[in-house]
Amino acid sequence: MSQNFTALQEAIRRRATAVIKGRAGDAACRFEMRLISDGESPTGEHGIWSELTRGDSALLERMIAVQAPIHVTFDCGRISVSFASGFVVRKRKLFGGDQVLLGWPGKLEIRERRRSERVTIPDSVSIPARLIRADSLPVPNGDLPLSLLDLSTTGAGMLCPTLDPPLDFRPGEGLEICLLLGGTEAWIHATHRHTQVMPDGRARIGVEFAPDTGLDAHTQALLQATVESLKAEHVRSTLGAALRRPAHCG
């Protein structure tokens, strides 16, 4: 099972609470449900049995009737997990809240919940990055080039190239990465938080800069300066796009 679905299984095991949003006609709907178990409907549809803890049951029935799409979000440790689904069937309980089967997702979207603001890397900026070391497997040819997707002072999101066999990091595994920040190589101890395999076989990984090892003052300053520079670049790009738009006179 991929680490994506391991996170979902862990949330079910913990009976985590999920927030579910959708629409019933013109009405926006929000529900809270406790994930209980994976299972099947009476007609054999695979899904996640969930207990309704908050929300309008009448709107829920309408959404089941029209098979309205829903968006499900829950937290699992330091990551936020979301997926598209639908309500399959409602099961009334004599004791406790009613149970609803959520359709099993085709894929999960995973986002790390960082302690500090993250900034996406704009197309106009390139920050070279390399994976130098991993606890569980050797890095091919001494290091592995990465594409940096986002950055904060406490973590980063990176894209790994397609490999055979693919990278398979353990949750919490120690990694060492190298970022070129302001023309200076910064070697950073990091902790693997999540992996999401993309349709083309590449792996999107999220890392937290290991809090137990700490970052030296120079590296911390380089990270802060780079994050501020990325924010400024986003402002310049947004302003430039606005200025390039043609004016419309009434």
Residue 47 is predicted with a pLDDT of 94
The CATH T-level fold of domain 119-241 is Thrombin, subunit H (2.40.10)
Contact assessment for residue 115 and residue 168, using Cβ atoms and an 8 Å cutoff:
no
Q: Name the residue ranges covered by the structural domains of the chain.
A: 3-112, 119-241
Of all residues in the chain, the percent with pLDDT exceeding 70 is 82
Report if pTM > 0.85. no
Q: What is the CATH number of domain 3-112?
A: 2.30.110.10
pLDDT in tens, 184-208: 999 999 988 888 877 777 888 888 8
Q: How many angstroms separate the Cα of 174 from the Cα of each of 20, 99, 136, 140, 187?
A: 34, 40, 9, 17, 13
